[in-house]
Amino acid sequence: MIRRTHRDVVAGTYSRLNFHIVFSTWKRQRIIAPTWRGNLHAFLGGALRALNAVGLAVGGPEDHVHILAGLRPVHRVSDIVRDIKHASCQWVHEEIHLEQFRWQSGYGAFTVGYREVEVVRKYVHSQEAHHMQIGFEEEYLGMLQANGVAYRQEYVL
């Protein structure tokens, strides 16, 4: 088997792989305070850049985040999510001094077509207002259903 280098794969590959990624705090604790929420969102964007991904939008209220990200063909969504969760959790512990902060183990990841990027970007940036009218559980179940994702109720709520 011939192994190609990262440079070989990227040089001849053209893609636009956008994902809407959603994950929540441990037990959906309402722990992300408005005083540092913007810094957390900025950190998540920087964590994506450090992984050679593109953070197109990051937003969310006190118990979860939405990320619109552009990934490369060499990325695995699970690795990206794992790495940004780990890095951001460390950041919260060290910078905010909130040792009990954790992310829920699972996540949702949905592909976003080029023509829908701007709609999803606006949606991500309007999360605080959006969640004044709808709860996370209802929103998340709606996203799973709208994207045809099979799920088990006990792992979602």
Residue 134 vs residue 68, higher pLDDT: 68
> With 70 as the cut, is the pLDDT of residue 4 above it?
no
Q: Which domains does the chain show, CATH number per domain? A: 15-156 (3.30.70.1290)
Per-residue pLDDT, 2: 47
User: What's the 3-state SS for the chain?
Assistant: CCCCCHHHHHHCCCCCEEEEEEEEEHHHCCCCCHHHHHHHHHHHHHHHHHCCCEEEEEECCCCEEEEEEEECCCCCHHHHHHHHHHHHHHHHHHHHCCCCCCECCCCEEEEECHHHHHHHHHHHHCHHHHCCCCCHHHHHHHHHHHCCCCCCHHHHC
pLDDT tens-digit series, residues 80-130: 999 999 999 999 999 999 999 999 999 999 999 999 999 999 999 998 887
